[in-house]
Structure 1
Amino acid sequence: MKHLKISLILIILVISNLELSAQTTKKPLRIGVVGLVHSHVGWILNRAKKTGDPDIEVVGIAEPNREVAERYMQRYGLPMSLVYSTVEEMLDKTKPDAVTAFNEISNHINVVKLCAPRGIHVMVEKPLAVSIDQARQMEALAKKHKIHLLTNYETTWYGSNHKAYQIAVKDGAIGPIRRIVVHDGHDGPSRMNKEFVAWLTDPVTNGAGALFDFGCYGANLATWLLKGERPTTVSAVTLQIKPDVYPKVDDDATIVLTYPKTQVVIQASWNWPFSRKDMEVYGETGYVFTLDGTRMRIRLKDDKTEQTAEAAKTDAPVTDPFDYLAQVVRGETKSVDDLSSLQVNMIVMEILDAARRSAKEGGKPIALK
């Protein structure tokens, strides 16, 4: 009996050592970057600067504009040897496991067309596409070739949003959700990099102006909080407050989503006096507000006064989209109905597409079939 116990202990130690060895020898996810014309690209380039990163390795960057590529490589201290002039060349020579797209929204579909048949997973910056038709083509390619197709939003990594979800949805502490109000935007993109502004203010390459650029955040959060429910109608009104600055697109938008027992109001603008990404979730018996990535205000049924709260970064599943991408590709976590998932973001695209049509028709409600 004594020998049996010793043998069992030895087996457990061997298994533990094997598991530890597997963890320490886990290779970083090989990531290719498509485009440097989105201002959020600094997110991944900052990670690329790290040597010996256990989770990700940037193996190649596709950017046809040499001046833009040289500027970014110099800024982040990266070698020009990482840069390729075409996506095809970068994919064929570096063979990444996944690609992050920081190009024009209208070109997200081309990234998926090139990556999906090669079995390369894709994460695009928000929103998924410029139209529901493009989104459906991308969805079909992702399913056919069995790749993950994720959409990244800055607000996905806000601990406050996940704490709000825990309170309102998982705990049901405010009762059934009756109203969601989301505010997103800043004082306008005109001060940003010229290559970013050029496509962001073009209805063909961006899909719209503030309507798509910031309206997508509210559509994403609302769809997640309402557990994938599609609205019955979508209405939108847009303004062009600064036509001399943004002559081709709207710079202010209000989107209203109606559900059988809930209403969502999304206020997206390039004309806020300050940058903001905040949300109000009202239930039948209480409310929870997110003021930014950490600060919150909460009042529940038996509270005599409103309470302030702080969320931690750890309230989010991970604090970085690229760590999350690595986990999804490795099968360490699932992306089914979360903020980044294809399922949720197809509904986001339905909402944005309907909002654009509604705005063109003077705010007429568009019924989702």
Structure 2
Amino acid sequence: MADAQPNRKPLRVGVIGLVHTHVHGILNKAFKQANQSDIEIVGIAEPNRELAERYAKQYRFPISLVYPSVEQMLDKAKPEAVTDFGRIIDHLQTVKICAPRGIHVMVEKPLAVSYDQAKQMEALALKHKIQLLTNYETTWYGSNHKAYALANTDKAIGDLRKIVVHDGHQGPKEIGVTSEFLDWLTDPVANGAGALFDFGCYGANLSTWLMHNQRPLSVLAVTQQIKPDIYPKVDDEATIILTYPKTQTIIQASWNWPFARKDMEVYGQTGYVNTLDGTRMRIRLKDDKTERSTEARPTDAPASDPFSYLARLLHGETKPDELTSLENNMIVVEILDAARQSAKTGKVVPLKQKL
């Protein structure tokens, strides 16, 4: 896998919002990495001047790159694509502004705060023929792609029976996220929910991928407020069960883990594969007497990072990745919406099966 293509110009990228601290990834790549030729940040839309000046100083970019509104940034900087690091509820507005201009959009996970908003975004993306991608850290884990290959390409573990996904950390306040991030991440309107959306989306994304974009028959979710003194408005603990005709997925999303984790267990009829992090894995196949450890390579992932992937995709140098795709992430938001409803009502939510 070669990310950089020295014979082409970098992709002109606009950054929308600085209040999601995942933005450090693209700022570090664009302004700190030597010899990176994938992307060029041509403009940043951020109305909070103090925040913009803080990052300009940290990453040594000219404050002239920053515009107070998305429209001004698009008009003056003329990016080919934007990456959205704002509140999840604002993703729809980003697409409303960018899609009619033919500007591609990559948002941070999840795609939207509701299935209704996701459908509006999908309609705009399809009408104006833009890429609308959702970025997850776990998309760039070689271990997940090796697990997928063992389960689906090689069919080494038999038909899938159970998928268990664990994601989360000790809590956003406990790990010291910025106040700008914490303010909206713990707001049920701006983020959709608490841990249920923040970390439940990873499992929904991976399960949908492993199940070839099959929608589950039903969704059941249980949420808790274990720390209401810290998170009075949102859940901090969530478990989601997805039922498929012959498979079950259990998503464990939490702001209460003792340590940060993003790992997965995939069980088939004849074997299993567990991912421990981005590279380390444990596997036991049909004829194995015990499990064995292995490691994935960086080249097992579609790119080394989302921004290299975005540049390669828009320059026609790589095929679309299913984990970032609109089709997958429409199902993810449908699952999250149903999970929120299930947690509120205490009932299983059946998903209407499309003909």
The Cα of 1:51 is off from its aligned counterpart by: 6.3
Structure 1 residue aligned with 2:46: 63
Please, which runs of 5 or more residues in structure 1 have no aligned partner? 1-22
Greater helix share, structure number: 1
Superposed counterparts of 1:245-324, under 5 Å: 245-324=230-309
Change beyond 3 A, Cα 1:164–1:324:
same
Distance 2:272 2:241 in 1: 19
Structure 1 residue aligned with 2:185: 200
1:162 aligns with 2:145: yes
Structure 1 residue aligned with 2:69: 86
The Cα of 1:318 is off from its aligned counterpart by: 0.7
Structure 2 residue aligned with 1:9: none
The Cα of 1:157 is off from its aligned counterpart by: 0.3
The Cα of 1:81 is off from its aligned counterpart by: 1.1
Alignment-mate amino acid for residue 343 of structure 2: A
Superposed counterparts of 1:115-134, under 5 Å: 115-134=98-117
Structure 2 residue aligned with 1:210: 195
Alignment-mate amino acid for residue 27 of structure 2: L
1:349 aligns with 2:333: yes
- Report the number of matched residues: 345
Distance 1:150 1:58 in 2: 18
Structure 1 residue aligned with 2:14: 32
Deviations 1:229-281 (A, max 9, x none): 10000000000000010000000000000000000000000000000000000
Structure 2 residue aligned with 1:226: 211
Q: TM-score, normalised by structure 2?
A: 0.96
Structure 1 residue aligned with 2:23: 41
Distance 1:319 1:289 in 2: 21
Distance 1:298 1:304 in 2: 11
The Cα of 1:354 is off from its aligned counterpart by: 0.2
The Cα of 1:332 is off from its aligned counterpart by: 2.1
Change beyond 3 A, Cα 1:92–1:52:
farther
Query: Aligned to 1:54, what secondary structure does the other structure show?
Result: coil
Runs (4 or more) in structure 1 with deviation over 3 Å come to: 50-53
Query: Aligned to 1:319, what secondary structure does the other structure show?
Result: coil
Distance 1:26 1:105 in 2: 33
The Cα of 1:93 is off from its aligned counterpart by: 0.2
The Cα of 1:54 is off from its aligned counterpart by: 2.0
Change beyond 3 A, Cα 1:24–1:161:
closer
The Cα of 1:115 is off from its aligned counterpart by: 0.4
Distance 1:229 1:284 in 2: 19
Superposed counterparts of 1:130-209, under 5 Å: 130-190=113-173, 191-209=176-194
The Cα of 1:48 is off from its aligned counterpart by: 1.6
Please, which runs of 5 or more residues in structure 2 have no aligned partner? none
CA RMSD of aligned residues (A): 1.0
The Cα of 1:329 is off from its aligned counterpart by: 1.2
